[in-house]
């Protein structure tokens, strides 16, 4: 199966899960940690996505936020069945289904679906990125003072939160405005289609950012880590922008 064909399967799985999530009744919620939750719907969404992906692509491996799975493989799907669980469980409309495909260690397909806005972001490496089928591109905002910056604070990890706090205030003073969406997958897509100019968060997981990274890169953006020399994909330290702001923001993060 070609990568384009696999991308269509990912889109089908994301839309099917989104439809199911939008029709939910009451659901059970379990605490993974003090401020980290998983709902019954996260699990149902992952089961549904896994079933659709692996029945169409039985040759592939699977790794999901809720059920885990294969750590590395020739071909592996990386899935966050609800990115923005806290939003979803409180009825906020901004949550996403994130499906990436990794081939021989490289992220090559990204699909992020936001059921609350019916927006489907999709990309295959080397083929550009789309939103609901139409090509998208990052913004051309080059001055930090004009930039809208999506942020995550690493709120679940006290050490990361301590590192982020001072930087956060420096940043607020330097940019046009900041946003905190509650979904890293959405944040990356919002930079990809130019409604924001940069996104940064440390301590997030591969399933949160894998699909968004492919989409952002294919839309012309750039993903770095907070510290020079670090690999963003391996570490979950994400400093992403339209490609024009990375250096300026990295200087603030490391001053
Ligand atoms: C969370 C979201 C959020 C980020 C958290 C993630 P989840 O994903 O991406 O924006 O700040 O660190 O864990 O838990 O809702 O899948």
Instruction: Name all domains of the chain by residue range, CATH numbers in brackets.
Output: 3-135 (3.30.540.10), 144-253 (3.40.190.80)
Would you say the CB of residue 115 lies under 6 angstroms from ligand 1? no
Pick from 12-21, 22-31, 78-87, 119-128: least confident: 22-31
Contact assessment for residue 14 and residue 120, using Cβ atoms and an 8 Å cutoff: yes
Which residue has the CA at smallest separation from atom 15 of ligand 1?
84
pTM: 0.96
Distance separating alpha carbons of residues 196 and 189, to the nearest angstrom: 9
Q: For the chain, what is the total number of helices (H) and then of strands (E)?
A: 8, 15
More reliable by pLDDT, 211 or 162: 211
Rounded to whole angstroms, the maximal C-alpha distance in the chain is 50
Residue 187 has pLDDT above 90, yes or no: yes
Contact assessment for residue 147 and residue 176, using Cβ atoms and an 8 Å cutoff: yes
The whole-number pLDDT of residue 71 equals 77
Determine the residue of 35, 82, 83 to mutate for testing ligand 1's pocket, defined as the one with the most ligand atoms within 8 A of the Cβ atom.
83
Residue 102 has pLDDT above 80, yes or no: yes
The whole-number pLDDT of residue 68 equals 84
Would you say the CB of residue 39 lies under 6 angstroms from ligand 1? no
C-alpha of residue 1 to centroid of ligand 1, in Å: 32
Which residue has the CA at smallest separation from atom 16 of ligand 1?
83
């Amino acid at each position: 199966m070609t990568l384009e064909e696999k991308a269509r399967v990912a889109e089908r799985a994301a839309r099917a899960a989104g439809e199911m999530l939008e029709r939910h009744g009451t659901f059970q919620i379990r605490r993974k940690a003090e401020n980290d939750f998983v709902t019954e719907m996260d699990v149902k969404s992952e089961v549904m996505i896994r079933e659709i992906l692996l029945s169409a692509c039985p040759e592939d491996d699977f790794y999901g936020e809720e059920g885990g799975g294969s750590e590395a493989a020739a071909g592996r799907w990386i899935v966050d069945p609800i990115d923005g669980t806290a939003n979803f469980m409180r009825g906020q409309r901004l949550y996403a289904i994130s499906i990436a495909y990794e081939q021989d260690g490289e992220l090559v397909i990204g699909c992020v679906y936001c059921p609350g806005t019916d927006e489907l972001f999709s990309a295959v490496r080397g083929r550009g990125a789309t939103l609901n089928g139409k090509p998208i591109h990052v913004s051309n905002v080059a001055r930090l003072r004009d930039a809208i910056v999506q942020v995550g604070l690493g709120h679940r990890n006290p050490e990361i939160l301590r590192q982020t706090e001072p930087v956060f205030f420096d940043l607020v003073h330097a940019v046009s405005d900041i946003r905190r969406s509650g979904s890293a997958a959405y944040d990356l897509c919002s930079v990809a289609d130019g409604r924001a100019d940069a996104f940064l968060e440390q301590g997030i997981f591969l399933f949160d950012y894998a699909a968004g990274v492919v989409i952002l890169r294919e839309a012309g953006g750039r993903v770095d880590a907070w510290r020079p020399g670090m690999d963003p994909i391996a570490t979950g330290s994400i400093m992403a922008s339209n490609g024009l702001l990375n250096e300026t923001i990295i200087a603030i993060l490391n001053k």
